[in-house]
Amino acid sequence: MSIRVLLADNHKFMRDGLRALIEEQPGMEVIAVAENGYGAVRLARDLKPDVVVMDIHMPELNGIDATYQIVAELPNVRVIGLSVHSERHYVVAILRAGALGYLLKDCAYEELAQAIRSVAKNQTYLSCKVAEADMRSRWEY
C-alpha cells in the first residue's frame, strides 16, 4: 500500500520538483498539491492523505496555522514542516502545531523520502541539520 502524500508549497517550482522526486520513490504517491494553507486544509479534509509535506511560509494561511487545523480535524494525517529556516522557534512552532517532522528545503532527496516514511509510521523526524544546530545550541554557554 502506497503512502499517500499531499504537498503544500506556494512555489510551483518547488511543488513540481517535490512531486517528481516523491513519485520516483516506490511505495509513495502524490495525491494532490496546494499552493497555500487554505488549499492544504481543504484537500486534507477531502482526500485524507497519510502525510502532508507543508511549507511553513505560505500566503493567506501559513503552514503552521494550517497544520493546527489539519491535525485537530484529522488526527491520523501526519504533517512534515518544510522550510528554509533552521531557527529553533520555527521548529518548535510547527511541532507544537502537531507536525511530526521538520525538514529544511536544502535537504537531500533521500532525507525527504526517509522523513515521509518515518512520519507515516507515526515517528518523529527532524532534519539532520536542524538536530545538529539544536545540539550545538544546547551546549553553548
Q: Which of 38, 32, 87 is nearest to 67 (CA)?
A: 38
pLDDT of 136: 45
Helix (H, G, I), strand (E, B) or coil at 127: coil
C-alpha cell at 85: 529556516
Ordered by start, the domain boundaries in the chain are 3-139
Helix (H, G, I), strand (E, B) or coil at 130: helix
Q: Which of 95, 100, 103 is nearest to 129 (CA)?
A: 103
How do residues 57-70 score in pLDDT, each as one tens digit? 998 899 999 999 99
The answer, yes or no, to whether residue 131 has pLDDT greater than 70, is no
- Report the alpha-carbon distance of residue 10 to residue 58 in Å, rounded: 6
Is domain 3-139 annotated with CATH 3.30.70.3040? no
pLDDT of 44: 98
What is the pLDDT averaged over residues 32-43?
Answer: 97
Per the listing, cell 545538529 goes with: 132
- Report the alpha-carbon distance of residue 12 to residue 4 in Å, rounded: 20
Task: Give, for 125, the enclosing helix (H) or strand (E).
Answer: strand 125-126
Using an 8 Å Cβ cutoff, are 22 and 112 in contact?
Answer: yes
Entry pTM: 0.91
